[in-house]
Amino acid sequence: MTALTLPASLVDSQWLAAHLEHPDLVVLDASWYMPAAKRAGEQEWRTQRIPGARFFDFDRKIKDENSPLPHMLPTAAQFAQQVSALGLSNHHRIVVYDGSGIFAAPRAWWMFKAMGHDQVAVLDGGLPNWITKGLPLDSSKPEPVAPGQFVAQLQTTWIADADQVQVALSQSQSRILDARSHERFSGQAADPRPAVRPGHMPGAVCLPFSELLQQGHFLPKEQLAQKLAAQLSSEQELICSCGSGVTAAILALAADITGHQKIAVYDGSWTEWGGSSHLPVVTD
């Protein structure tokens, strides 16, 4: 069998269905939902999934257990151990999806990028589109998988912390894009986390992730490029932020799709920034 190459950072259901049986391909369900949705990603995966999909739990398992912040990136050693337990090795080509269409899967995509694994893509339209297309589903009890051998190599260029964001806010060669809604960005709406202040970082720009999507799919590449070009030059270093580092990865993936070169996600995002009394916050 010929070697498998992912065509881009975003693949469609037809491509995945055509390559689903390839031995180098691993499919991951990275579904995660806001508490208000009252949905449980792992339970839904156990009930119905793309055949062979394994559950990638970045909220409860594959995270930094020592951080008070939600689902922070773990160490390279922990990441390697946990994805090896999912049967993953470095030669695998990974396609990640979620049950919303596009919501949580880009977070998993970014995590693999940050751990040095470039052969990873997101399924455009996610599980809803897969179901709409009438493609096969598996509702049987998930089978255990044989462990893999995954070696992670942290790529710090994909990650930003609060100190780096503070420096970047005052530099013209950097742009901070915030994926939250205009209401939360401006401070008109309270943050869903009680201890977190409303508002935004001085100098950040609001680009709600929802403006890059349409019915669970990314906008066409040309439209994504237009949306990003209105806020960002091709030479600028991009740092993406949001509430807790999930939808920021949607902006990061959109930038990657359009060919932007310097992309990072602020992992702590607004939960850290708005929850820290010493970091500057503005409202408008």
Residue numbers annotated as active site: 242
DSSP the chain: -PPP---SSEE-HHHHHHHTT-TTEEEEE-----GGG---HHHHHHHSBSTT-EE--TTTTSS-TT-SSTT----HHHHHHHHHHTT--TT-EEEEE-TTSSSSHHHHHHHHHHTT---EEEETTHHHHHHHTT---B-SPPPP-----------GGGEE-HHHHHHHHT-TTEEEEE-S-HHHHHTSS--SSTTS-SSB-TT-EE--GGGGEETTEEPPHHHHHHHHHTT--TTSEEEEE-SSSSTHHHHHHHHHHTT---EEEESSHHHHHTT-TTS--B--
Question: Burial level of 195, CB count in 10 A (0-12/13-18/19+)?
Answer: exposed
Contacts of 59 (CB under 8 A, 6+ apart): 32, 41, 70, 71
* Letter string b/e over residues 49-81, b meaning 16 or more CB atoms within 10 A of that residue's CB: bbeebbbbbbbebbbbeeeeebbbbbebebbbe
